Amino acid sequence: MMLYTCQASSNLHPLILIPGNGGNQLEAKLTSDYKPSSLYCDKWNPVRKDKEGWFRLWFDPSVLLAPFTKCFAERMTLYYHPDLDDFRNAPGVQTRVPHFGSTQSLLYLDPYLKHITAYMAPLVESLEQIGYVNGKTLFGAPYDFRYGLAAEGHPSHVGSKFLQDLKDLIEKASTSNGGKPVILLSHSLGGLFALQLLNRNPSTWRQKYIKHFIALSAPWGGTVEEMLTFASGNSLEVPLVEPLQVREEQRSSESNLWLMPNPKLFGSQKPLVITPNATYSAYDVAQFLSDIGFPQGVYPYESRILPLTEKLVAPGVPVTCIIGSGVSTPETLFYGENGFDEQPEIVYGDGDGTVNMLSLLALESLWSNEKNQTLKVIKIRGVSHTLILKNDAALEEIIGEISGINSIAEYYVGYRIK
């Protein structure tokens, strides 16, 4: 662990952490409408609940055991309702996000398994070393990461409520710190939510409340790996989990649709998925969804998600992107005669192991002509998508950036390469 110089708390701008997909705890409660698919999934599971029946849905180690993996998947599954034009939980499953405003649910995905489920704990410890205090100058904005946002004209009840809660937290954090504007520090998917928040509020609000936006490992243009997730399921390196057992749940996630490769960035000429019968580029995602056996995803993708991905608008506040590089990242997927139920052969390219370099650097190309936008990119070689929250070199860069912001340092458009 690196040691950092503590700054006087009066000099610190309040800081809000926004986690990525799967980066905070979720809790669930089963009602009388819940219909288990098997005895294993009945209401007795899990045994550990609070007096009102709430239990930790994510992360719970029972997902590692095959009979319970199915229970986990059916409770995490979302359903798109055409009549509502929105996503909802499975019938009989209520969910909530614990400890909004605090860093508590971001530290460890399971507080009883700290060693193997640490998420933002090393980052928070590093922030505390320079004087940040949870609940005073340091805040967390966990959310239900299964849900995403939708393009204008389409409801997105859960995602929109999170943006409002985040806006309220920003204003509260600023007010309780003498009116100092806030530093937003996001990881992965959290960066997409943060940018949407900034662009959905007027410039006068942004100038008053936002000091700086730091995005770690943000998948601005989606990922090729997401196509693998939809086609064949993705164990996400969780041991003992069979990808096909969680595929339907992963397909149901609104935020996963949001992370499909952006056509504007990936283009129409680059093949992302190749099968004996078809080749798919980022412009063919709708056809791809239909061909893998998920036609119900086509309308939400085309109407709600695709227009949203076309608007990566410069927010007019200073932005720093800190990214990993030099890590093998899926770039093209090859499927054989056995179809999508088998894992593909993969050709790898540059990125952070999850997000392609093209996506990580998207803002640099999209905002190149934005005269009123300050953008800084810091590349750290050999640091993966999640290791960026734990690696000493990465933490040193992150803390150095935050210390510089608090010292009113000068920022520039360009790169720093480690």
Q: Which residues are catalytic?
A: 188, 352, 385
Q: How far is CA 307 from CA 19, 164, 195, 302, 310, in A?
A: 24, 21, 15, 8, 5
**Stated length of the chain:** 418
- Tell me how far CA of residue 361 lies from CA of 228, 264, 268, 357, 364, in angstroms: 22, 13, 19, 6, 5
- CA atoms of 165 and 171, how far apart (whole Å): 10
> Whole-angstrom Cα distance, residue 56 to residue 97?
10
Count of C-beta atoms within a 10 Å radius of residue 219:
28
Strand order in the sheet with 15-18: 138-140, 15-18, 182-187, 210-216, 319-325, 375-381, 414-417
Tell me the C-alpha to C-alpha distance, in Å, between residue 252 and each of 52, 69, 79, 240, 300: 28, 16, 6, 22, 11
Please tell me the distance from the alpha carbon of residue 418 to that of residue 242, in angstroms, as a whole number: 36
The H-or-E segment that residue 287 falls in is helix 285-291
Whole-angstrom Cα distance, residue 97 to residue 158?
11
Distance CA 169, CA 37 (A): 39
